[in-house]
């Protein structure tokens, strides 16, 4: 029985899973950008109250909104990433 060396495993591994993983990451990044824009538009509506009454918290609020958008995209928030992967996976 011949042991599988790392170089042999790398040669026999198909390229499709790597491309599909890159497609999934790109689709999640697109969904995160979309969610960031959507959250920013909701913030601009001015319906939120500033509890502290200063603008110092706006930077941290923006960072939190970015993090929320990233987390939503990675956990299939709106399902946009799933739809993009389903549409493009056969074209790889």
Average pLDDT over residues 21-49: 88
Average pLDDT over residues 10-14: 55
More confident residue, 8 or 37: 37
Other C-beta atoms closer than 10 Å to the C-beta of 6 total 7
Tell me: pLDDT of 21 over 60: yes
**Span 62-92, pLDDT tens digits:** 889 999 999 999 898 899 999 999 999 888 7
pLDDT band at 44 (very low <50, low <70, confident <90, very high): confident
- Residue 85 neighbours by CB under 8 Å, 6+ apart: 20, 23, 24, 27
Quick check: pTM over 0.75?
Answer: no
């Amino acid at each position: 029985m011949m042991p599988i060396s790392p170089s042999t495993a790398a040669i026999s591994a198909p390229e499709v899973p790597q491309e599909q993983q890159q497609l999934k990451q790109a689709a999640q990044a697109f969904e995160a950008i979309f969610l960031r824009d959507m959250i920013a538009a909701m913030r601009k509506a001015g319906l939120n109250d500033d509890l502290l009454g200063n603008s110092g918290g706006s930077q941290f609020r923006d960072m939190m909104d970015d993090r929320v958008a990233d987390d939503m995209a990675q956990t299939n928030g709106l399902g946009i990433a799933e739809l993009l992967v389903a549409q493009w996976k056969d074209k790889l």
